[in-house]
Amino acid sequence: MATNTDFPQRVAQYVDSAIRDAGENTKSVAEGTGIARMTLARRLTGSTPFTVAEVARIATHLGTTPEQLMAGQAAA
Predicted TM-score (pTM) of this structure: 0.87
Q: Which fold has domain 4-70?
A: 434 Repressor (Amino-terminal Domain) (1.10.260)
Q: Is the pLDDT of residue 76 over 60?
A: no
Q: Count other Cβ atoms within 10 Å, centred on residue 35.
A: 21
DSSP string, 48-67: SPPPHHHHHHHHHHHTS-HH
For range 56-69, the mean pLDDT: 94
Tell me the domain boundaries of the chain: 4-70
| Centroid of chain to Cα 5 | 17
* pLDDT digits 0-9 by tens, 10-40: 899 999 999 999 999 999 999 999 999 999 9
Give the HSE-up count for residue 28: Cα atoms under 13 Å, Cβ half-sphere.
Answer: 9
Gyration radius of the chain over CA positions: 11
